[in-house]
Amino acid sequence: MSQPDYAADRHALAVITDRLSDPRVADFFAHNAHRKAATRALLDLLGVPLPSWAQRNAGGRAAVTKAAMTRFRQDNPDLNLPRGYVPPKER
């Protein structure tokens, strides 16, 4: 049985990630949700790191609400307390 060639594997992975980071490839996949999802699934199955254009991002109403609440809490740190919070009495 032959030994695996780890150097060749690392080189192949570098070539794949180089090609996936090409702007033309990113443009081709990023403008079609089905292609993007299929590519993401394939790369995940192969264990290849996802390029930036294939990363999932939070979307929808929940993400917008979460981002708004995070900004509100940063701007208003005193209001960053749970509803109904009563501070303890000083002794």
Asked, for residue 89, whether it belongs to a domain, the answer is no
Low-confidence ranges of the chain (pLDDT < 70): 1, 58, 77, 79-80
- Token pair, residue 22, equals 């090409």
Asked, for residue 68, whether it belongs to a domain, the answer is yes
Asked, for residue 88, whether it belongs to a domain, the answer is no
Asked, for residue 90, whether it belongs to a domain, the answer is no
Asked, for residue 66, whether it belongs to a domain, the answer is yes
Look up the domain containing 43 and give its range.
Answer: 6-79
Cα–Cα separations (whole angstroms), residue 66 to 24, 26, 43, 74, 77: 33, 28, 29, 12, 16
Asked, for residue 42, whether it belongs to a domain, the answer is yes
Asked, for residue 46, whether it belongs to a domain, the answer is yes
Task: Output the pLDDT for position 90.
Answer: 85
Report the domain count for the chain: 1
Distance between CA atoms of residues 69 and 80, nearest Å: 10
Task: Output the pLDDT for position 54.
Answer: 85
Task: Output the pLDDT for position 11.
Answer: 85
